[in-house]
Structure 1
């Protein structure tokens, strides 16, 4: 899963951290409610060697083994492929290769209010994710319940690098994805509350991501846990964990995401009363019609 569309790295030091936090909150809401924001995901379609049509979209897709992406075929005019270099309309009936989602958020396939990206957890299998800019999870979203900025939750730890290119089997909110691996560059030694921890982080592009649970999880904040995105540092260097930037993972906005869940190392006994807690929707919203 790629997180660059759901949150920003820790910003540079600010003379007014509370104001920077408020700006981050506003940006987060724009991100998750955007055309390909987390709230817009309405479906995922596994892709294998059999060509199959994509619901909600005039497109079919299949995969050739060992390729780092999928093959697609548009069935009508108006289907656009967007890459970092620009965009072009796909010719109906003509086969096109689409690489999996990159760190820059591309490529994307668009038709009317719908968007598709190609995704793989670890390169062993692929799916197409379908977004709807007018999905009920978008139109009903009123905000993200977030704690006020608290400087006490800006903690300092030490990063300890692990084995180069290490990959670790991980658990996911979608049970069928359990056992897929995450790239784990190391651990962070940090004191949280009254206890010392060695927290496992995985790599997302150049950044580090901490998936954690704490005493608020499930009662106040989103279950099974929250994420914190960190700038990488060298082995043995200090690293800042600003839990004011802890955020609700994509599966907290759409049930169609498969999110990594906190491993045992990352279950903190203290109540981390900082960062985002849950998505807020209009009272009439029901995620399960």
Structure 2
């Protein structure tokens, strides 16, 4: 292992710990509420009434409810689209809590992020294996002729579509693998994968985010930077399980493994 590679990995790991433990990081999520499950519009422990209204969420509240919208005390009715930005910039707040609107396959919901969450207070760190060169290998991305979608189980027990843009081929421990990957808006790749340590030496599945391939499809597959999914930090995330072909038949003892 080169000193530079280890130092870069150490910096990456420290930044990850800082990010997940931030006031509005994944540890602060205390609830995800699908509005179709609350016909009266009353979300648990949350002021106002919330209802799906076509392509938006309709929020009704009085000023006595103590909500703010765009940083100002709110009373009346407002239509809210899905929050696109960081949690801390969410439009609706109740004290320090942020009530973030989301939509998945036409279903509208609200997420409750609370910096005072029990999970954030109890957090002690991420168990991660230090950088080892053997877990970083060259890969080649081959896009599909057309983007595909496959329905997979999610961490909340529901099945949803997972968009896939191609396959990422690489060789690890003498074995060839071609997991399916998603292409992000910036061209980088995202894979949901399992391996022989899943559910025992590591979380039941993990994420990998290779850099955008070059014009010939080349990128680096670095399992030293395998990530715990958000649902490892809070039960209320809806992370997708690995799609077909993405459970690798070797023990990848690298990257983030579990919470401490």
CA distance in 2 between partners of 1:108 and 1:151 (Å): 44
- Per the TM alignment, residue 142 of structure 1 is displaced from its structure 2 partner at its CA by 0.6
- Rate the CA distance shift 1:19–1:260 in 2: closer, same or farther, 3 A: same
User: How much does 1:54 deviate?
Assistant: 2.3
Say yes or no: does 1:27 pair with 2:15: yes
Question: How many angstroms does 1:137 deviate by?
Answer: 0.7
1: distance between equivalents of 2:85 and 2:5? 27
Are 1:50 and 1:63, in contact at CA under 8 Å, matched by a contact in 2? Answer: no
Give the CA deviation at 1:116.
1.6
Pick the aligned partner of 1:147 from 129, 138, 142.
Answer: 129
Distance 1:222 1:264 in 2: 18
Length-normalised TM-score, structure 2: 0.88
8 Å CA contact retained: 1:210, 1:229: yes
2:90–2:98 CA contact under 8 A, matched in 1:
no
Is contact 1:52-1:61 (8 Å) kept? yes
2:203 corresponds to 1:216: no
Relative to structure 1, the CA distance from residue 36 to residue 158 in structure 2 (aligned partners, 3 Å threshold; closer, same or farther) is same
1:150–1:244 contact (8 Å) kept in structure 2: yes
Partners of 1:102 and 1:182 lie apart in 2 by 19
* C-alpha distance in 2 between matches for 1:185 and 1:234: 15
TM-aligned CA deviation for residue 101 of structure 1:
3.2
Partners of 1:61 and 1:181 in 2: how far apart?
Answer: 25
Greater mean alpha carbon deviation, residues 129-138 or residues 165-174: 165-174
Aligned equivalent of 1:160: 142
- The alignment partner of 1:142 has SS state of coil
| TM-score where L is the length of structure 1 | 0.80
Gaps of 5+ in 1: 1-13, 82-86, 281-289
For structure 1, which segment, 255-264 or 100-109, has the greater mean C-alpha deviation from structure 2 after superposition? Answer: 100-109
Q: Distance in 2 between matches of 1:61 and 1:36?
A: 22
Aligned residues: 255
- Farther-moved stretch of structure 1 (213-222 vs 157-166): 157-166
Q: Which residue of 1 aligns with 2:81?
A: 99
Is 1:116 equivalent to 2:99 in the alignment? yes
Counterparts of residues 21-60 of structure 1 (less than 5 Å):
21-48=9-36, 50=39, 52-60=41-49
Give the alignment partner of residue 172 of structure 1, picking from 154, 174, 186.
154
**How many Å apart are 1:161 and its aligned residue?**
0.6
Shift of 1:15: 8.2
For residues 1-289 of structure 1, the aligned pairs below 5 Å read 16-48=4-36, 50=39, 52-65=41-54, 67=55, 69-76=56-63, 78-81=66-69, 87-92=70-75, 94-102=76-84, 107-121=90-104, 123-175=105-157, 177-178=158-159, 180-206=160-186, 207-223=188-204, 225-233=205-213, 236-280=216-260
For residue 234 of structure 2, give the secondary structure of its aligned residue in structure 1: coil
- 1:111/1:100 CA distance change after superposition, 3 Å: same
**Offset at 1:138?**
0.7
Measured on the aligned residues, the alpha-carbon RMSD in Å equals 2.3
